[in-house]
Structure 1
Amino acid sequence: MFDVLTNTGLRMRIRQLGRAVYWRLPVRRRDALVELAYRHAGFLFRGMAHYELWRQRRTNPGVGGGAALPGASSLVDLSAVAPLADAPGRVAVHAHVFYPELATEFAERLHNMPFEFHLFVSVAHADAQAECRKVFGRLPRLAGLEVKVVPNRGRDIAPMLCTFGKDLSAFDFIAHIHSKKSLYNRGATDGWRDYLLGALFGSEDRLRRIFALLANGTGMVFPQCFGRVPYMASTWLANREAGRAWCQRLGIARVPRGYFDFPVGSMFWARTEVLRPLFEAGVQLGDFEEEKGQTDGTLAHAFERLLGVLAKHSGKPVAILRDTLQPSWSAWRFEQAVERTAAWARARVSSADVRLVVFDIFDTLLQRPLLEPERLKQVVARRAGAVLGSQYLRWRAEAENVARARAGRDVGLPDILAQLGCLAGLSEADVATLRRLEQEVELAAVSAREDYRRLLDDALRAGKRVVLASDMYLPRQQLEAMLLRCGVTGWHALYVSSEVGVRKDSGALYDYILEKEAVLAHQVLMVGDNERSDFQIPADRGMNTLHVLRAVELARALPRMAPLIEEAEQSEEANALDGDLALGLIVQRYLSPGFLSAFNPACLVGEASPRALGYAVAGPMALSFVQWLAARAQADGVRKLYFLAREGQFLLEVFRRYAAVAKGLPSASYLVLSRRAVNVPAISGMDDMLAIARTFYGPNTLADYLTERFGVTLNEAQWQSLYDRGLWRKGRKVQIRDEGIDDLLPVLDAVLPEVLRQAEAERGPLMRYLREVGLGRDRCEPAAVVDIGYSGTIQRRLNVLLGGGVHGYYMATDERAARVAEEFGVMAVGCFHDRAKPAPAGPTFIVQSFIAEKLFSSDDPQVVRYALAADGQVRPVYRTLAPAELATRALRAEVRAGALAYVEDALKVRGGLLPEFTVPPQMALRLFESFVERMADAERAVVNALVLDDHYCGRGLVA
């Protein structure tokens, strides 16, 4: 029986019967039918995209996740908002009721309004007008009702702007709703209207909470994208050009890229001031297209998206109401993409219904390490030099448009650059240089997007014909070289728009491929990343599609990565290109895989492994600091750098790797010191002792305090003497905050002779060690210590011991470092922060300094002091590592491996793509801040497992 049922033809007939039953059922029962069929007859649906995703959710329900994330995008849980008691101002609702049979449904929702409101209704004909007046006229708290017949033009948007715009603009708060049916998709989004209305008008209590948001300054409130709507809807789709034109008209400089927040379905609440620019833009009914059943690409669809753009442009926050019935971490429903598996994708490309698989190339099979690939042209300009590069950037885009317009077809790079030469008045040699550079940069930038390269291989193994298609100006020969270099082989044909003259984004290239390959649209599967040209256009032609989510868009959806993406994309700093690349490497490494089995959206980069922590946080910080250090030391004339233990061990490793590709860097060595090892030898009297005593400590025992700070261990008689004289109470703990040591002064005075003897014993061996490593030997060769920071304690003690001349470079310094610089006439400067407020009032990096120390610390024990060994040599005396510290080594090795992988990737960029590439300090710092300020539980577990000692401050081992 099973063999019979798995027969392909019979399976198809059963599926068709199932679909017929599905569409005849009430909406509320359809999901139950699907669940029943999938549970008990799954073999009939194997290979179907929807079934494979359903099966994946059941076998791995944690992927993607629906749990609420702290601070995730603009998602708001209304249950956490206190309801508003009193009306915050004048309220109006616009309802476009194209289907008058839905008027009663609307009235039931509007019945929940808690405050007085005016209702403006647009309808398509007089009968509907009469029905709406009758139904809505009985609503409670209705202060005014106006129902107008409007032309069937501009959907629900035109009536709101053209018919009632002047009326609505007189109110403080506006809601916009309409009788949405989406008949074109045969019920695929059934329940959408009910979902949107329920989210915005579901109950009086819900409305009071929405008004609380609006009253407290929120600019716009709308529901999270409906769960049945494909996530690709949260982009411009066919409306980019209209959107760009209207953004310019409305004075909006930054047009969103990729995915962005707007009320998908165009139902919302808003403060009127947010929409005022649109009300005052002079929009006319004639601006809207005649209604011909369009599903996208009209001015109404563009304005639907502009609503969200305007809300952001207003500077007021947007509140997206979290869907509690179909919860998702992503406002755009990216779980639809993240939940996919390689097995699901293989089933799609191997389907018996598919004869031809078409792969897009860029951002699908090949990727670049930039957030915005167009910035590759800035790389070309940098490599071309200031004069030629500025000409190139000035004319490159216009040259491409002019060349295409003149040819009446798509064109290649030679035509574009020839046109650029004419526009800019360049010589043939300059044009040839630009062509060479652009081709070199494109080749150097690409790497394989491995999951989709493997998917292409899967399609080939399944016996499918596989072709590649790209809207691209590069010549075929170069594309073939790029593909071969990245291991993309075996495909049967390559269609390049500049070669055949037509493009995917017009649809003409698809028509060309269908004709050339002699296939029908439904026999084709298109695999690509562009929501318009690789998804919407082929789908409208009846092709099957497998959309590929770009890594930068997934990053844009992650709550802690999104602000960094936006900052990098909008940066106008001189090093904006470097920042884009620095962040792009991280995005490419962790978010470009097509199938993310362990994805955790709460984490900075979607996962919490120690290696990810090293790559995304420690690596950028270390390299950025080292690059700053090298440039600063060269500028200051410092020729010798001493990296202080223990964090300096890893920083020195990074410095040496950087020195291998950079020129003229100072010499560098490792200096095994600690506060304890230099503080005690530098003590010459009570003032020195008090300076050491005042720093943060405890609570811990007095015995530990004296040992850790001063190297003194009292005998039983000495302890008894302290107690007998009333200098200290037995069992009392030492705790020092805000330099308060008054209670300790008698004890310190009593032990001063012991401390001075210990200082004398330690001073000689330490000085000998310092001479052996070259410190203080040659005052003509400026030297500096290098460390994380913060107050320059070790630097100060070295200057005391050596008589000055020791500079200091740090990741960060607090204001206490300025005293060191002034006292000894040396430099004590910080990279990420310089002379900042100390903790707890200081910046995040200083407040969370112990996390930084955990990331950069070595496996070595802390040096306590130096002593003369029996052979007369100076030897360090180390603290013994505890078992918990030893157990941390494997974890720390993973963090370090991740960090060094980032360093290597960045240096490859410097060597092959962008000479002089540097990781901007502000980008590295923002990565650290984004990590520590809202750590996910999984990330915190990794950090806590990195055990580090802090005996000097009386905290013992710190997890």
Structure 2
Amino acid sequence: MKLTETLLHKAAPYPVVAFDVLDTLIKRDAARPTDLFAMLGADFAKARTRAETEARAAKRGEVTLADIYARPCMAGYDPAAERAAELACAVPNLPVLQAARALHAQGKRIYYISDMYLPKAQLDAMLQKCGYTFLDGGFVSADYGVQKRSGKLFGVFLRETNTRAQDVLFIGDSWRADVAGAALGGIRAWHLPTQELPREGLPAGAVAAFTANRLSRFSGAEAYGFSVLGPLAVAYCQWLYAQAQQHPGARLFFLARDMYLMRQVYALLYPGEATAYLQVSRRSLCPLLLAQKQWDLLLTALPRQSLTGAQIAAYCGTACPPEQQAESYDLKHAPDTARSLLQTLAPPTDADAVSAYLARQNLRAGDILVDIGSGGTTQMLLQALCGIPLHGCQLSCDDRLRGRLSEAETAVFLFDGQPAPLLYWAGQPMLERLISEDVGATIGYTQTAQDITVRQAPQQPTALLAALQQGALRFAESWQASFLQALTIPPAAAVAPFLRLVGQPTAGETALLGDLTVEDGGVYPLAAPRKAGYYLTHARQAGRDFSAARWKIGFLKRLAPLPLPYDRLYARLKNKS
């Protein structure tokens, strides 16, 4: 909106406004033109790049697409494929489109002027596709043999439209070709600011370009969902699909609540693939573990924190002996201290309901369990309770995983299957909340003669979460409808926007997300500090609030919104602790 308003203000005094085409009126879903060639094949990209270099060396002035395809190295290639790819990759630069429409509605004449080897008919088709149906004409260097950068194409434009130079404002993204070239032609120009995209090429550059080209359609939480959650969810689901192809006959079971958004995205990308939603949690499995006296697994299933005897008994669906109700057990550092307590607990009442729910899911050997992951605990518990081997597909893992499950039993998407780095864990509680179903945790099951129902902890829906997830779904829908839909997004490119958010958040991002709460054996805020002045007289409270925050980098940034390397500060604090 701000860019649109700026363009309208700049163009107000001029009866004629002309625009550059690529990276001004329209954009490509590619960081560089050579990325578009690469999408058509490595051999084609090599030949195409060589042919253009040779054509420019052999001809003075602008070359045409016909000149390029006339080179011997392009024998056997059809320019129609490149033209089709250009058309498919073209998307409108929405703020500029809105400004151009408004200027046309004001009665101004609107043209385009482009240094381009593509023929005018091709550019016209791309512009029509992108909504530029109102232009008064266009001038392409390939048609005239002269370029903008020399100023000569601007001269052609002025002569053929019978326009005075002082009546024209030209808008383009290149300082050399657009601003300096227009000046050589006697025309006033305004430089259009552009976003710098990754230069590493495919596929990271294409993902970044695709996201940037559409981000102005969204605002607030939906924009963050589109740009941060969207690439990660699509990439993970692409990987899941590939994993499923390696296990013919296996069914995908997405674990509630963490994999709720991932399942929705998977259904958008692969509508013909059936999946299941497994509403289990470690807590919901504890009664059956207690009934089977699987003490080691039960200790693993309990939260890794300090709990009283009464709290442990509640997790297991039973009551605690009165003399042990208030006793505290450190399940994180000394979990075995609770073993004697577990052995004194009364048989749980819900164990049969757990068994019945699992039986109804009809898990079979080799089925795929889709989990956000860390140590593979849920997979380990289900394998033991169901007596079958499963294949785990986790988003990430920590160093516990390979001590429990082999690489044949589970695969990990992020970080080459290695334990995730510190920065990821600094934001993992936030990620888990953002992609989870916005309902309470599964705490057990109720069995009747007719049915088995899932019991969930009470939780109020959060509008912010719905908007974030809607943004991710919009990314998946747009990706599936784009020229890039066959491109596999690599893990590094997929998780990069999230890691940037975690480690280098803006003040706006911390304000948007910081008040969200997450569950971690209790309910804690992500990043909700009090006013800095309060902590000047309540230093101990600052320590308690910082300890409670589950996004500590966000806490620091929100407390002191300064341009500081909070990710590195957090790493130093973490290493010291």
Q: Is 1:956 matched with 2:544?
A: no
What aligned pairs does 1:538-549 form with structure 2 within 5 A after superposition?
Answer: 538-549=182-193
Q: Is the alpha carbon distance of 1:749 and 1:349 closer, same or farther for their aligned partners in structure 2, counting shifts above 3 Å?
A: same
Alpha-carbon distance in structure 2 between the residues aligned to 1:506 and 1:411: 15
Aligned to 1:411: 63
Using the TM superposition, give the Cα deviation of residue 931 of structure 1 relative to its aligned residue in structure 2, in angstroms.
Answer: 1.1
Contact 2:254 2:275 in 1 (8 A): yes
- The alpha-carbon distance between structure 1 residues 958 and 814, as it changes in their structure 2 partners (threshold 3 A), is same
Change (3 A) 1:487 1:518: same
* Distance verdict in 2 for CA 1:773–1:687, change over 3 Å: closer
Residue pairs, 1:766-781, within 5 angstroms: 766-776=354-364, 779=365
CA shift at 1:860, angstroms?
2.3
TM-score (norm 2): 0.83
Counterpart among 264, 269, 274 of residue 653 in structure 1: 264
Contact 1:788 1:811 in 2 (8 A): yes
Task: Within 5 Å, give how 1:306-317 maps onto structure 2.
Answer: none
1:712 partnered with 2:315: no
- Could you say if the C-alpha distance between residues 482 and 617 of structure 1 is closer, same or farther in structure 2, counting changes exceeding 3 Å? same
Per-residue CA deviations over 1:858-905 (Å, capped at 9, x if unaligned) read 122211122322x34222222222xxx33x2x1111011110111112
Q: Which residue in 2 is equivalent to 1:222?
A: none
Q: What residue is the counterpart of 2:430 in the other structure? A: 851
Change (3 A) 1:872 1:481: closer
In structure 1, the partner of 2:95 is 451
Partner of 2:37: 377
What's the offset of the Cα at 1:405? 4.9
Is the CA contact 1:644–1:671 (under 8 Å) kept in the aligned structure 2?
yes
- How far apart are the structure 1 equivalents of 2:341 and 2:192? 73
Distance 2:97 2:392 in 1: 49
Cα distance in 1 between the residues matched to 2:408 and 2:359: 20
Show CA shifts across 1:189-248 (max 9, x none).
xxxxxxxxxxxxxxxxxxxxxxxxxxxxxxxxxxxxxxxxxxxxxxxxxxxxxxxxxxxx
Aligned length: 525
Residue of structure 2 equivalent to 1:150:
none
Matches within 5 A, 1:330-369: 342-351=4-13, 354-369=14-29
Hey, what does 2:474 align to over in structure 1? 901
Is 1:945 the counterpart of 2:575 in the alignment? no
CA distance in 1, matches of 2:114, 2:447: 72
In structure 2, give the amino acid aligned to 1:378: A
Paired with 1:864 and 1:930, the residues of 2 have a C-alpha distance of 34
- The separation in 1 between residues aligned to 2:268 and 2:300, in whole angstroms, is 37
Output aligned runs, 1:916-927, within 5 Å.
916-927=486-497
- Say whether the 8 Å CA contact 2:20–2:173 is kept in structure 1: yes
- Alignment CA distance shift 1:654-1:404 (3 Å): same
Task: Tell whether 2:233 aligns with 1:589.
Answer: no
Q: Superposition pairs for residues 197-208 of structure 1, below 5 Å? A: none
Q: CA deviation at 1:851?
A: 1.2
Write out aligned runs for 1:479-498 (5 A). 479-498=123-142
Instruction: Give 1:697's aligned amino acid.
Output: Q
Superposition RMSD in Å: 2.8
Q: Secondary structure at the match of 2:149?
A: helix
| Conserved 8 A contact 2:515-2:525 | no
Contact kept, 8 Å, 1:413 with 1:473, in 2: the verdict is yes
Alignment partner, residue 669 of structure 1: 276
CA offset at residue 686 of structure 1?
A: 6.8
Q: Residue 544 of structure 2 corresponds to which residue in structure 1?
A: none
Partner of 1:863: 442
Letter of the 2:285 counterpart: V
Q: Is the 8 A contact 1:678 1:794 kept in 2?
A: no
Task: State the alpha-carbon separation in 1 of the partners of residues 286 and 51 from structure 2.
Answer: 66
Distance 1:934 1:405, change over 3 A: closer
Q: 2:340 aligns with which of 718, 738, 749?
A: 749
Residue 932 of structure 1 and its aligned partner are, at CA, apart by: 0.6
- Does the Cα contact within 8 Å between 2:5 and 2:99 map onto a contact in 1? no
Q: 1:512 to 1:455 in 2, by over 3 A?
A: same
- Contact in 2 for aligned 1:706/1:713 (Cα 8 Å): yes
Alpha-carbon distance, 1:853 to partner: 0.6
2:289–2:298 Cα contact (<8 Å) kept:
no
- Structure 2 counterpart of 1:11: none
Runs (5+) with no aligned partner, structure 2: 527-577
Match of residue 814, structure 1, among 398, 401, 405: 398
Q: 1:713 to 1:539 in 2, by over 3 A?
A: farther
Q: 1:644 to 1:413 in 2, by over 3 A?
A: same
Aligned to 1:613: 224
SS of equivalent to 1:504: coil
Shift of 1:504: 0.6
Contact 2:313 2:345 survives alignment (8 Å): no
Q: 1:876 to 1:492 in 2, by over 3 A?
A: closer
Residues 21-47 of structure 1 deviation map (CA, whole Å, 9 limit, x = unaligned): xxxxxxxxxxxxxxxxxxxxxxxxxxx
Change (3 A) 1:655 1:463: closer
Task: Check whether the contact 2:150–2:184 (CA below 8 A) recurs between aligned residues.
Answer: no
Question: For residues 486-519 of structure 1, what are the alpha-carbon distances to aligned partners after superposition, in whole Å with 9 as ceiling and x for unaligned?
Answer: 1212222211111111111222111222333344
**Shift, 1:774, TM fit:** 1.6
SS in 2 for 1:442: helix
The structure-2 alpha-carbon separation of the partners of 1:635 and 1:344, relative to structure 1 and needing over 3 Å to count, comes to: closer
Q: Secondary structure at the match of 1:861?
A: coil
Distance 1:486 1:853, change over 3 A: same
What is the match of residue 634 of structure 1? 245
SS at match of 2:514: helix
| CA displacement, residues 347-385 of structure 1 (integer Å, 9 cap, x when unaligned) | 33231xx343221111111111222233212123x2xxx
Larger RCO (CA within 8 A; separation ≥ 6): 2
The Cα of 1:445 is off from its aligned counterpart by 0.8
Q: CA deviation at 1:852?
A: 1.4
Structure 1 residues 940 and 704, CA gap change in structure 2 (3 angstroms): farther
What CA deviation, in whole Å up to 9, does each residue of 1:259-283 have, x standing for no partner? xxxxxxxxxxxxxxxxxxxxxxxxx
Q: How does 1:873-912 map onto structure 2 within 5 Å?
A: 873-881=451-459, 885-886=460-461, 888=462, 890-909=463-482
Does the residue aligned with 2:208 lie in a helix, a strand or coil?
Answer: helix
CA distance in 2 between counterparts of 1:693 and 1:447 reads 50
Q: Does the CA-based 8 Å contact 1:815-1:835 persist in structure 2?
A: no
From 390, 393, 413, give the equivalent of 1:831.
413
Q: Distance in 1 between matches of 2:523 and 2:18?
A: 61
Identical pairs, percent = 26
CA positional deviation for 1:639 = 1.8
Tell me which amino acid in the other structure corresponds to 1:418: A
TM-score for both structures, normalised by structure 1: 0.52
- Give the match for residue 351 of structure 2: 763
Question: Are residues 762 and 835 of structure 1, via their aligned partners in 2, closer, same or farther at CA, if it must alter by over 3 Å?
Answer: farther
Report Cα offsets for 1:648-684 as digits up to 9, x if no partner. 22211111112138xxx6x421111001112331233
Mapping of 1:396-407 within 5 angstroms? 396-407=48-59
1:348 & 1:948 partners in 2: Cα distance? 47
Maintained 8 Å contact 1:679/1:794: no
- Asked if the contact 1:469–1:496 (Cα under 8 Å) also holds between the matched residues in 2, the reply is yes
The code of the aligned residue for 2:207 comes to A
What runs of 5+ residues in structure 1 fail to find an aligned partner?
1-337, 383-388, 554-564, 571-575, 594-606, 723-727
Q: CA deviation at 1:915?
A: 5.7
Q: CA deviation at 1:621?
A: 1.2
8 Å contact kept, 2:141–2:147: yes
Cross-structure match for 1:437: 81
Residue 414 of structure 1 aligns to which amino acid in structure 2?
A
Matched, 1:703 2:310: yes
The answer to whether the 8 Å contact 2:287/2:354 transfers is no
